[in-house]
Amino acid sequence: MAEETKVVGATAKTRLRRRLRFLRTRARELKMIGKALVSTKHPILVHIIPMRQCNLACTYCNEFDDFSKPVPLEEMKKRLDALADMGTSIITISGGEPLMHPELDEVIRHMRRRGMIAGLITNGFYLNKERIERLNEAGLEHLQISIDNVVPDEVSKKSLKTLDGRLVMLSQYAVFQVNINSVLGSGVKDPEDALKIAHRAVELGFTSTVGIIHDNNGQLRPLGPHEQEIFEEVMALGKRSFSRFNEFQHNVARGREHNWRCRSGSRYLYICEDGLVHWCSQQRGYPGIPLAQYTPEMRHREYSTKKFCAPRCTVSCVQQVGILDNWRDPQNLNPMPMTPPATPQAELVQIGEVRGDS
C-alpha cells in the first residue's frame, strides 16, 4: 500500500460551504432531470476541451498531445454561450489536462454565469491549496480524478502514491464534490489496486466509481472472476455516487452487449479543442461540424440516429444521459453521409480504451 498522507479534517466553515454547495447543486441536478424528461430538444451533458496538451503521457491514452496551445478565453466563452443558448444543463471540462489552461477559473465562472452545472476532469497533478480555493471561488461543482494504480509504473503515473497528498488537500479545502475513479480490465496489473483506491476515496469523504477497460479493438472483454468480485465491492462502496450506473456497468463487467439508445450528437455532445462537435471521445470525427453551425435540426437528427457502436459501448457518462430517453423515441436513422473536410480531421475511429479522460 502506498504511504498515506496524514488527514487533517476540513474546518467548520469549509464543511458548511461544502454542504450548501452540495444542496444547491443537488437541487439544480433534480431540475435538470425534470427538464430532460419534459423536453428532448436540448443537450443534457457536454464534454468540452479547452486544452489538448497534457503534463503526463499515459501510454494507453490518445486524447492528449505535448504541444497544443490553450483555446483562447474569448473563444471558450463563445462556445459556452452557444451551448447555453441550446439549453445545455451540465458541462464537464476535460482534456488533455484542463488545469494547464491559464484562464480555466474564468471558463468555469462563465459556465456558472450562464446557469450550467460545472464539472472538471483532471489528473490532479496541479492541485494545491491555492488552486483548490480558486476552483471553489469560480463555482466548480464536480471534480473527478481517475487513478490507475497504487504505485506509478511505465503505463501511468496517476497513482495513489503520487496523488494521495493532493487528495488529502481536496478533503480539507474543496467545497465541490469529488469523485475518484479507478479502473479494472485489460492492462491493469493488479486488480486489488482498484479496491485500495476506492477505500481511500471513501475514507477521505469522496464518492468512488470504477471504469472498465476494453481491448484495443474496442471490444468488450469480460472481467475474470476475481476482478468481478472486486468490481462488485467497489460498486457497493460507490453507492453514494450520484453518477453510478449499475446496470450498464454490470453488463460491461461481464462482457455482455447491452440494449440502449445512444443520443450522442444530441443529448450528449463532445466539443474538441477546434470547436467541432463529435459523437464522443471514442468516436471523434463525426459529425465533425463546428459548434456555431450545429443546428437544432442536426441535433434532432442525431437524436434519432442509431449508433452502430452502442451495444458494446463503454462510455458511462453517455449511458447515464441515455437513461433519460431510453424509454422513448426508437432510433431509425443512419448517420449522415459526410462531405470531405476542407482541412484534415480525425477519422471516425473506435478507440480501444476508455481511460483517456485524465
Return the residue of 56, 168, 202, 324 that touches ligand SF4, per CB under 6 A. Answer: 56
Three-state DSSP state, 21: helix
Under rule CB under 6 A, residue 92 binds ligand SF4: no
Under rule CB under 6 A, residue 119 binds ligand SF4: no
The 8-class DSSP code of residue 191 comes to: T
Handedness of CA 306, 312, 315, 319 (dihedral sign): positive
**Mask of contacts with ligand SF4, 243-262, x by CB under 6 A?**
-------------------x
Under rule CB under 6 A, residue 149 binds ligand SF4: no
Nearer to ligand SF4 by Cβ, of 54 and 174: the residue is 54
How near is the Cβ of 53 to ligand SF4 at its closest, in Å? 9
How near is the Cβ of 305 to ligand SF4 at its closest, in Å? 10
Nearer to ligand SF4 by Cβ, of 42 and 158: the residue is 158
287-290, strands of its sheet edge to edge: 207-213, 177-185, 142-146, 117-122, 90-95, 45-51, 268-271, 276-278, 287-290
Under rule CB under 6 A, residue 127 binds ligand SF4: no
Nearer to ligand SF4 by Cβ, of 18 and 279: the residue is 279
Q: What is the DSSP string of 321-357?
A: HHHTTTTS----BPPPPPPPPSS--------S-S---
Under rule CB under 6 A, residue 211 binds ligand SF4: no
Task: Annotate 43-76 with b (16+ C-beta within 10 A) or e (fewer).
Answer: bbbbbbbbbbbbebebebbebbeeeeebbebeeb
Under rule CB under 6 A, residue 279 binds ligand SF4: yes
Q: Helix 192-203 and helix 225-237: axis angle, to 10°?
A: 10
Cell numbers placing 196: 485500495
Say how far apart CA 351 and CA 357 lie, in whole Å: 12
Return the residue of 175, 245, 315, 325 that touches ligand SF4, per CB under 6 A. Answer: 315
Q: Which among 76-84, 227-235, 251-259, 306-314 is the span making contact with ligand SF4, rule CB under 6 A?
A: 306-314
Return the residue of 318, 325, 352, 353 that touches ligand SF4, per CB under 6 A. Answer: 318
Under rule CB under 6 A, residue 264 binds ligand SF4: yes
CB 315, CB 218: distance < 8 Å = no
CB 204, CB 49: distance < 8 Å = no
Under rule CB under 6 A, residue 298 binds ligand SF4: no
Under rule CB under 6 A, residue 63 binds ligand SF4: yes
Return the residue of 70, 185, 352, 356 that touches ligand SF4, per CB under 6 A. Answer: 356
Cell numbers placing 293: 453551425
Under rule CB under 6 A, residue 181 binds ligand SF4: no
Nearer to ligand SF4 by Cβ, of 18 and 64: the residue is 64
For residue 36, CA distances in Å to 209, 294, 329 come to 24, 20, 14
- Which helix (H) or strand (E) segment is 250 a member of? helix 246-253
Interface positions with ligand SF4 (CB under 6 A): 54, 56-58, 61, 63-64, 95-97, 123, 158, 262, 264, 279-280, 282-283, 307, 309-310, 313, 315, 318, 355-356, 358
